[in-house]
Amino acid sequence: MQLFMQQLVNGVVLGATYGLVALGYTMVYGIVQLINFAHGEIFMLGGFGALFTYTVLLPSGTPVVLALILMLLGGMAVSVTAAVIMERFAYRPLRGAPRLAPLITALGVSIFLQELVRNFYPAKSPRPFPQLIPPDYLINLGGGVTINAPKLVTVIAAVVGMVALSTFVRSSRTGRAMQATAQDPDTARLMGIDTDRIIVTAFVLGASLAAVSGLSNGLQFGTVDPRMGALTGVKAFTAAVLGGIGNISGAVLGGFLLGIVEVMATQYAPSPLSGGAWANAWGFVVLILVLVFRPNGLLGERVAARA
């Protein structure tokens, strides 16, 4: 039982990473129906931005809490800048183009960003990430189940991100404009909504949350790698679809489910299909099963659905 609970906690932690990235997929998809495959790279850039802030910008001896905050801001700055440039120069010119054209652009952006970091980030690969919070600094959750601090922060960030984002979309003026743009972009413009700005806002919010995930990922695993965005991106997109793409709570819920399934399958799947090697496959099996029985995902579509 203790093992089971511990694995559940580990699954939730893994799921939080997916969920934070999935929020970006779901928002952009909800508004422009674009599967932004380069969003995984935005997550990766968040990690590298944080690393860069720490190694280059921060003087040694900066207090840990301050360092973490500044690293987060640095990571966000990099992620957000990349996302805004990407939206402006790669995606925006393609609005109204055939549906699949932006998908290839997304692929191009993804390759480009990955290679950009791999070639020009001045350090060896994979890059060691500072262990600001010692991994053995464990918090006891009772019954022998533990979680370390960076992991706890990741989970909290995912939940807070989800709640804040839903509240924002539901009740703020800009959030309303987002919903309107998602439902009918032309008519939204007739209401006086600058839809271009709304779309950029969605990219910016998604990038900020991905940066949180990128930083916490670095803290958890102690390295960052230019290739880490690709798999996380696919997983996060899977999570978004699991929850019902376009649905903000669904993205995080889908992330948790995916993370728990992967961890549990590694532990409990029948031999020889258990173990880390098969974990990713189990995640997709669950995805396919969920979609067969709930074609719109767990929570269905919200922001995305048009009449």
In angstroms, give the least distance from the CB of 307 to other proteins: 4
* Smallest gap from residue 13 Cβ to other proteins (A): 22
> Is residue 187 near other proteins by the rule CB under 8 A?
yes
Q: Does 100 bind other proteins (CB under 8 A)?
A: yes
By CB under 8 A, residue 105 contacts other proteins: yes
Residue 298 makes CB contacts below 8 A (sequence gap 6+) with 242, 243, 244, 250, 253, 254, 257, 290
Q: Are 16 and 256 in contact (CB under 8 A)?
A: yes
Residue 143, Ramachandran bin (φ over 0: left; ψ between -120 and 50: alpha; else beta) = left
Cα 259–Cα 262–Cα 267 angle in degrees, nearest 5: 125
Q: Is 15 in the site for other proteins (CB under 8 A)?
A: no
Q: Does 300 bind other proteins (CB under 8 A)?
A: no
Q: Is 180 in the site for other proteins (CB under 8 A)?
A: yes
For CA atoms 181, 307, 94, 247, the dihedral sign is positive
Regarding 59 and contact with other proteins (CB under 8 A), the answer is no
Instruction: For other proteins, give the closer residue by CB, 177 or 209.
Output: 177
Q: Which residues of 75-87 are buried (b: 16+ CB within 10 A; e: fewer)?
A: bbbbbbebbeebb
CB 292 → other proteins: shortest distance, Å?
4
Q: Binding other proteins by CB under 8 A: which of 55, 81, 183, 267?
A: 183
Looking up tokens 């991994």 gives: 135
Q: Which among 115, 108, 212, 207 is positioned nearest to 155, based on CA atoms?
A: 212
Q: Is 126 in the site for other proteins (CB under 8 A)?
A: no
With contacts defined by CB under 8 A, how many residues of the chain interact with other proteins? 74
From the list 3, 69, 85, 111, which residue makes contact with other proteins (rule: CB under 8 A)? Answer: 111
Tell me if 192 contacts other proteins by CB under 8 A: yes
Q: Is 173 in the site for other proteins (CB under 8 A)?
A: yes
**Site membership for other proteins, residue 95 (CB under 8 A):** yes
Closer by beta carbon to other proteins, 103 or else 159: 103
Binding mask 210-249 for other proteins (x = CB under 8 A): --------------------x---x--xx--x---x----
Phi/psi at 191 (5° precision): -80, -5
306 binds other proteins (CB under 8 A): yes
Q: Which one of residues 102, 218, 226, 243 is an interface residue with other proteins (CB under 8 A)?
A: 102
Nearest residue (CB) to other proteins, 135 versus 185? 185
The amino acid present at 165, given as its one-letter code, is L
Establish if 185 lies at the interface with other proteins (CB under 8 A). Answer: yes
Contacts of 220 (CB under 8 A, 6+ apart): 13, 17, 148, 150, 151, 154
Residue number with CB closer to other proteins (141 or 194): 194
- Tracing tokens 């376009």 back to the chain, one arrives at 246
CA distances from 27 to 33, 142, 165, 192, 199 (A): 9, 36, 10, 21, 9
What is the smallest separation between the CB atom of 189 and other proteins, expressed in angstroms? 4
Nearest CA to 117 out of 146, 144, 82 is that of: 82
